[in-house]
Structure formats: structure tokens, C-alpha cells
Structure 1
Amino acid sequence: MNVISINNDNKKQAKRLLQINVTANWGSHGRIAEGIGEAAMAAGWESYIAYGRYMQPSQSHLIKIGTRWDQACHLFQTRLFDRHGLASQRATYSFVNKIEQIKPDIVHLHNIHGYYLNYPILFNYLQKNNIQVIWTLHDCWAFTGHCAYFSVEGCEKWKEQCHNCSLLKSYPKATFFDRSRMNFLYKKSSFTSIKKVILVPVSDWIKGLVSFSFLNQYPMHRIWNGIDIEQFRPCDRKEAISKYGTYILGVASKWEKRKGLDDFLALRQCLPEYISIVLVGLKKEQSRLLTKGIISIERTENIEQMQKLYSGALAFINPTWEDNFPTTNLEALACGTPVVTYNTGGSVEAINPATGIIVEQGDIIGLAKAINKIEAIGRNNYTEVCRARAVSNFNKVDRFHEYISLYDKL
């Protein structure tokens, strides 16, 4: 998979797509890149995916960027000197040589942060070679001097000039130095240096933010994330209900304050005893802090188990304080389950009044009232309309084809 074998003498060679992401076929963004690659190959493209760490077998040609030592050094420079994205010089020069071999028609960027890539070196190469770039924005890191999200803090420095960062302890965490001003200037210089760029925000919310940033000079084409609507579909609710009773569901890959863990603890006090809370993804130490009536599932065995959990739930609750476009909302809808979410980022874009309820951030009573409303209407009355919305808007096959159509137009 990691060996590149290219015949550049073939006059009728296929168009070549190179995607760059921190992971390959791993995690939500890695799986998105994998799906795009598969759709591209079905349309006659050659597909390459370059990644920093964590991978699973892929249908595309995989290219590993750097070593564990490179990543450790990058992490060190980030923690001590707030130089995220400015280390990994040797690894990035080596990767650029591989790009020179591939000669891609399109370079599609995803998350280029994550301790594995030097963005000035990469963008200098893209600019000099006038390569067409598509950049899917999964968070806000591309236009800030440090952080990936800033909405909870209410920071707006990124609109003009980052400085005196109050989010240094957030990802990518820095300990001693605040280089947010210089980082902002470096990013602005690099990211606005190339001409042929189309930005793909994955929500209308982040599209709106970009319009106030230094990236607003580029055209944008919003493409929502998608899911596998065949794997996530309504199933018999009896098994989950017999095990957990009447319950609401929360899911996160990493539970922390911004994902609403504290809000679930508070919500427990506002619900009747017969309604349980089931949380998926908690660590063991977090599970020990749970009160009666909250059930912890550290991890699920397979997608079928998640399908049953989604389908059996009275409602899927997403009290997230910072998010772009969470796929858990989509998975719940595809299983016929209504979604209750805070008015946060792009999370609200997954639902409409028929498929869920939006609650203001921190309104625990509002969450409880929304759950009571869904119970009063009847959970089964939501199944068809939630499923229909997921099929119409969030089928990953349709979303991947939207990317291929964008490629072909270029």
C-alpha cells in the first residue's frame, strides 16, 4: 500500500487525486477521505491518501508522512513553543518529493494539523507548481493563530489578528509560549499564497465564519458530511428497551466538558427515574463518577450494536458546546431517532422541526422539556420522518459524488 508505482509515460493516464489527512481510513475524517477516494476510483481516477498516523487498510494508495520520532518532535515544539504545523521539515520535504512523483491533478486537504506536517513547506510547493487545491474544513484551525474552536470562549480576535491567546491549553496545547500572533501571520501568508483553491466547509456555520476570515478570498462550496445509511437504519427496538428500559442516548468519541458530559450529569436530576441515560464512549475513570440512572458503555463492539442503541433510544441528546457538523446526529436520524441538540455550530443543521428540537446552550430544563415533548408525541411517530431526512440529505454516497462532481468541474 505504501509503495508508489507510477507510469508517467501513459498518454491516457487516469486523473490523479491526492488527499492529505492526519489519519487514513481511521476516525470520522479518515473514513470520509477513504470514501471520497473510493468514489473517485469508481469514476476513473487514481487515488492516493497521505497521512500522519493511525491507519486501516485502504483501497487507495497510502503514503505515510514522517515517523513516530518526527511526530514526537513536532509535539515537543508545539507544547513548548506553540509552533504547531511548523515542525516536521524533513518529513514534509520527503513527502513533497513523493508529490512530485505522483503529479496529482488535484490535492485535496483535510486536517493538515495533528503533529505531522509542515504547512509552509507544503503550501510553498503547491504555489510554485500551481496545483489545484480542494480544502475541506472540518474545524476552525486553518484561520486562527492557535485553536481549532473558539466559540465557547467567545473569541473574535481571529477576524483581524490573533494575539494574547486565552485558549493555549486547548488543542493543540501549548505550555510556555504564546505565538498566536506569529502563527496567525504565518498561516495567512501560506494559506493565501496559492491561487487555485476551493474551500469546502462541512456546515453552513463554518462557511459563515470563513467569510469573516483571511480565507474569504476563496470560493466556497458547502458539502455536508454523510453516513452509511445502510449500516445505520431503524431496527427492532425491543432488545435495547428490554436491557435499558426507556432511555435517552449520548455518544462521543472523547467525552469532555465541551461535549456536554457535565450537562448530562445535571440533566439526570431533571428526569423522572424511569428514564435512563445511556452514554457511549466514556473512560473508566469517568464512568466511576456517574450517578444512579446513568449507564456507561465504554465502547461498542460493532456498528450493529450502535444501530440498536440509536434505534432503541427515546431521543438522541447532543448537548455539545463546540462542534462543526457531528455525524452522531446523522446516525441517530438514520436509525429513526429524533435529535435534541444545543444551538451550537453546525449541529443544528442536521435537524428540522419535524425531526428534532434545538435548545439554547446550558438550558438543562430545556433539554428535559424537549425529552418530555418527544415522549408525549410518541417516539414511533418520528421514525419515518427522521429516516427520510437522513436518506435525502446525509447519504454518504451522494455526498462523495458531490465531491467528484466538483473535481470534474475543475
Structure 2
Amino acid sequence: MLKVVHINTYDGNGGAGRACLRLNKALLAQSIDSKVVVHYKFGKNLSVGTFNKTAVQKAYTAATIVFERILAKRMLNTLKRTPFSFTWFGRSVIEHPDVKAADIIHLHWINHSFLNPAHLAQLAKLNKPIVWTFHDSNAFTGGCHVRYTCDHFMRQCGYCPLLKKAGADDASHKIWKQKADAYRQLSFNVIAPSKWMLNSVLQSSLMKDKPVLNIANTLETQVFIPAGKANAKKQMGLPEDKFIFLTGFMPSRKDLHKGTSYLLESLELLKERLGVKASQIELVVFGNRNAKDVPDFSFKTSFLGTINDDEKLAMCYAAADAFLIPSLEDNLPYTVMESLACGTPVVAFNTGGIPDMVEHLHNGYLAEYRSAKSFTDGMEWVINNEEKQALQQQARQTVMEKFAEPVIAQKHMQLYNQLVNKPEPGGAHV
């Protein structure tokens, strides 16, 4: 039986962690001996392993994660709220029994004092096929996780706009050189969950000689299911006669990555357009840590806070008439896939990997990038759509055809088998 070990920083904390656990579950269902081992374990799932053998080791790991973030603040431009990882700390994983026993080593998100370039290069000593799923851009940049319009990753980074002290040989260029040296020593196949990520990888200076394949993430299609709008609204305590927009956590107007300001502007425009009919619209927000540190919305708004129960989260999606995601750059955001799986159309900007999931005017609306007016057009389109039931069915069908567990598991298994049956890792740009 093929043995696969998935290596990630956290166990389900964040999109990458969830993707890792969901893929592991999908592979287990296909009789693959699949395991997950993480840098820092939050949960109590006994099937998830950790590289920390003792409480002291776990405390040290937590300390390095926190210390890295503190040090980073001293070097980063505080006006640029963009995630950036340095390479000061790291740990070796090559002696872990699950890593040594695996036929395939599958890397996921490995930042936060985990696998820095030096420790990553150590994996070459194991002489095993390595697969690496890129959940953001960090692996092929000089430190940033979100690039926006910056094209320095196409060269050798440097003059990084995120650093206080930017220059030709700044921290981003030094990190780029560390990664270049590690990647020369290590063979691996890249998995890009979205076409946008695949194209980014092919453009990057660090990855030009690495084989890359587009395979999407998956999710639990038996958990995220349609429940009937009226029934779901009733269960969630929402008015059945109102049109419900659902959206995720938005920290503040200053937040760049999630595009909060565009959503706020779009909602203001929508209220102006609807006039007296605006009273028929309500907004539901999940993921907010509290109801105080949130923006002022133009419509009546309910705040659900953080939802850790997937069945409850699925009911939220099922109860909504449309899901709003104003993100400006995202690889393959799970909120979109989860919403569609629950039969809820999505309004989003035409950016990142979102077009891989949202088909314009078929299961949602792709607004012109960074246009609040276009985003408002999308909301109006969903509100006025006369074929709402068909729209909901098409949303669910998209997920079942493209992202269901057996579909994604089989694509990974095909790649794994190709690599195991070859003397050296290989593949083609697809």
C-alpha cells in the first residue's frame, strides 16, 4: 500500500491546514496509507502527528513562532498589511518515523519557524519523491505570501516594498538566494490548486525548472450540502422573507488582502440603488472575533462570530441567498467552494483562483477587479435573478464535478504513482 506523509505547520488552522486534512481524509477513503504530521498541533485528533515529542518541545516551537512575528514587525513596513515570512528559525524533520517510512513526502504550508530553506534541503537526503502544494505565493518569493501587482518574484526579489530597509540586497533578496540554493539541492513536483497559481509558478524565477501540475483542493461534500433556503433560514433564526447575504471575517477598512473597503462601498451603492427595497436585505457575517471591532455596514447585520463546527457553518451557507467575497488575491479560497457546495451562489472579484470555481452568470457573478460598482452589479444580479433554484443547483453541481473527494484524490494518486514508479521525480508543465 502506498504510504504518504503530509507535512504542514498547523493541523487545520487556516485554509492550508484544512486543505491538508481534507486531502488526507479523501486519500484514506481511497485506501491510501496517508498521515498528517504538523509543526504545532492545536487539536486533539489522535490521527494527526506532531514533530514535538514533549511539552518542552511544543513550548519551544510556540516561542519561536511568536518570536519570529515580533522580530518581523521591526523589519516590515507597518503601512503594508501583507503577510511576510522570514527564515530565522526552522527544524529538521528527516528523522521522524512517519517521514522516513513514507513513499511520498507531501509538503503543504511550512512557514512560521518550520521548514526554512536549510531544513527543507535536508529532505534530499531521504531520496524520496516530494510533492509540494502551494497554498500561497511564499515558496517562490523572497518572503511575501501575497504579491498583488509586485513582479519582483520574476527576478531575484530585492527592493521589497514591504520592508523598511529595501534595497538590491535586502532581506527579500537574501531569502530568495537561500531558497534558490535549497531548491538546487532538492527535486520536487509542485501542485498548484488554481490555474492562477500555476501561471504564477511558471513565471517565477525560483520555479522555472520544477514540474508543476494543477490539482484543486477538496472538501467534505457530505457535510457542505444544500438544506433548502427556507428550512436553513429557520434553523439559523433568520427571516425567511428577507434576502440574506453572507460574508466572512473582515478586520477593518484598512485590511488589504480581504478587500473590506470594496465590500463596504458596494453595500452603500446597493442601498442607494434599492431605495425603499433595501429593507428586504440583511447581511450575516461569520468569523468576526467580536461585534465591536467591525465596520459599519449599510444593512441590518448579524455577527455570528467564529464557527468551529462545520455542520453549523454549512447551515449558514445553505441559509444564505448569496455569498460575498471581496478578496483581492486568493489561491483557491475555501469559503467560495463551501458556499457553492451548499447551493449558494457567489459574488466575487475576477481574481486569483476564484474563476476556477465561480462561472460567471452560471453559479455566481465575477465582478470587474477592484470595482465596487461592478461588485454591486453582481449583488443586484443575484437579487433579481428569476432562476434562483437553477442557480443553486448549478452551484452544487460545479463542486461535485470538479472538487469532490474522489475526483481530487484520484488526481493525486495518479501523480503519486507516476513518481513512485520513476527513478527520479518528474512530470510536465500542465
Q: TM-score, normalised on structure 1? A: 0.84
The one-letter code matched in structure 2 to 1:166 is P
Q: CA deviation at 1:365?
A: 1.9
Indicate which of 217, 221, 224 corresponds to 1:225. 217
What CA distance in whole angstroms lies between the structure 2 residues aligned with 1:179 and 1:38? Answer: 38
User: Which residue identity does 2:89 align to in structure 1?
Assistant: S
Structure 1 partner of 2:134: 137
Q: Does 1:160 align with 2:169?
A: no
1:185 to 172, 177, 183: 177
Distance in 1, matches of 2:200 and 2:372, equals 27
Query: What letter corresponds to residue 406 of structure 1 in structure 2?
Result: L
Q: Counterpart in 1 of 2:89?
A: 88
Give how far 1:115 is off.
2.4
1:306 maps to 2:313 = yes
1:212 matches 2:203: yes
Counterparts of 2:307 and 2:365, CA distance in 1 = 26
**Residues 321 and 344 in structure 1, CA contact (< 8 A), matched pair in contact too:** yes
Q: Could you say which residue in structure 2 is the equivalent of 1:62?
A: 49
Unaligned stretches of 5+ residues in structure 2:
77-83, 420-430
1:369 aligns with 377
Q: CA deviation at 1:259?
A: 1.1
Instruction: Give distance in 2, aligned partners of 1:369 and 1:289.
Output: 21
Structure 1 match to 2:424? none
Q: CA separation of 1:59/1:224 partners in 2, compared to 1, >3 Å: closer, same or farther?
A: farther
Pick closer, same or farther for the CA change 1:86–1:309 going to 2, 3 Å: closer
Q: 1:396 to 1:26 in 2, by over 3 A?
A: farther
Would the aligned equivalents of 1:38 and 1:60 in 2 still touch at CA under 8 Å?
no
Please list the CA deviations of residues 99-145 of structure 1 after superposition, one character each: whole Å capped at 9, or x if unmatched: 5972422111101112233331231x222333211000111001111
For residues 339 and 161 of structure 2, what CA distance do their matches in structure 1 show? 35
Show the counterpart of 2:233: 240
Question: What secondary structure does 1:62 align onto?
Answer: strand
Structure 1 stretch 47-56 or stretch 271-280: which is displaced more? Answer: 47-56
- The answer to whether the 8 Å contact 1:198/1:219 transfers is yes
Q: CA distance change for structure 1 residues 315 and 288 in 2, over 3 Å: closer, same or farther?
A: closer
In structure 2, do the counterparts of structure 1 residues 300 and 31 end up closer, same or farther at CA, with 3 Å as the change threshold? Answer: closer
Deviation at residue 349 of structure 1 after TM alignment: 1.3
Contact 2:26–2:405, Cα closer than 8 Å, also in 1: no
**What is the alpha-carbon distance in structure 2 between the residues aligned to residue 199 and residue 147 of structure 1?**
18
- Give % identity: 23
The 10-residue stretch of structure 1 (109-118 or 73-82) with the greater mean CA deviation from structure 2: 73-82
TM-score, normalised to structure 2, is 0.81
Matched residue, 2:36:
49
Looking at structure 2, the residues matched to 56 and 292 of structure 1 have their Cα atoms a distance apart, in angstroms, of 37
Q: Which runs of 4+ in 1 moved over 6 A?
A: none
Report if the CA contact (8 A) 1:35-1:400 is conserved. Answer: no
Counterpart Cα distance in 2 of 1:72 and 1:252: 23
Match in the other structure for 2:289 = 283
Deviation at 1:405, TM superposition (A): 2.4
1:356 to 361, 364, 376: 364
Partner of 2:100: 102
Distance apart, 1:79 and its partner CA = 4.3
2:192 to 201, 219, 237: 201
| Deviation of the 1:42 alpha carbon | 4.9
Q: How many residues align?
A: 384
Q: Deviations over 1:293-345 (max 9, x none)?
A: 23322223633332232223222111111111111111111111111110111
Q: CA deviation at 1:159?
A: 0.3
Task: Give the gaps of 5 or more residues in structure 1.
Answer: 1-13
Q: CA deviation at 1:160?
A: 0.7
* C-alpha distance in structure 1 between counterparts of 2:295 and 2:367, whole Å: 28
2:380 and 2:98 mapped to 1: Cα distance? Answer: 59
Q: Which residue of 2 aligns with 1:265?
A: 264
| Superimposed CA distance per residue, residues 239-271 of structure 1 (whole angstroms, 9 cap, x where no aligned partner) | 527724212111248673321222222122122
Give the counterpart letter for 1:277 in structure 2: L
How many angstroms does 1:352 deviate by? 1.5
Whether the aligned pair in 2 keeps the contact of 1:318 and 1:339 (CA below 8 Å) is: yes
Of stretches 201-210 and 28-37 in structure 1, the one that deviates more from structure 2 is: 28-37
Q: 3-state SS of the aligned residue for 1:366? A: helix
Q: Take 1:161 and 1:110, find their aligned partners in 2: how far apart are those partners? A: 23
Residues 329-348 of structure 1: pairs in structure 2 closer than 5 A: 329-348=336-355
Tell me which amino acid in the other structure corresponds to 2:341: A
Does the 8 Å CA contact 2:268/2:298 hold for their aligned counterparts? no
Distance 2:62 2:416 in 1: 33
**Whole-Å separation in 2 of the counterparts to 1:80 and 1:262:** 27
Distance 1:162 1:302, change over 3 A: same
* Contact kept in structure 2, 1:105 and 1:132, CA below 8 Å: yes
Root mean square deviation, CA, Å: 2.8
Give, in whole Å, the separation in 2 of the partners of 1:187 and 1:34: 26
Question: 1:361: Cα distance to partner?
Answer: 2.2
Cα deviation code 1:370-390 (max 9, x no counterpart): 222222223223121111111
SS of the aligned residue for 1:135 comes to: strand
Relative to structure 2, which stretch is displaced further, 376-385 or 103-112? 376-385
C-alpha displacement of 1:84: 4.3
Pick closer, same or farther for the CA change 1:364–1:23 going to 2, 3 Å: same
- Between 335-344 and 97-106, the greater mean CA deviation after superposition: 97-106
- Secondary structure of 2:285's match? strand
CA distance in 2, matches of 1:73, 1:15: 38
For 2:3, the equivalent position in structure 1 comes to: 16
Moved more, 253-262 or 226-235: 253-262
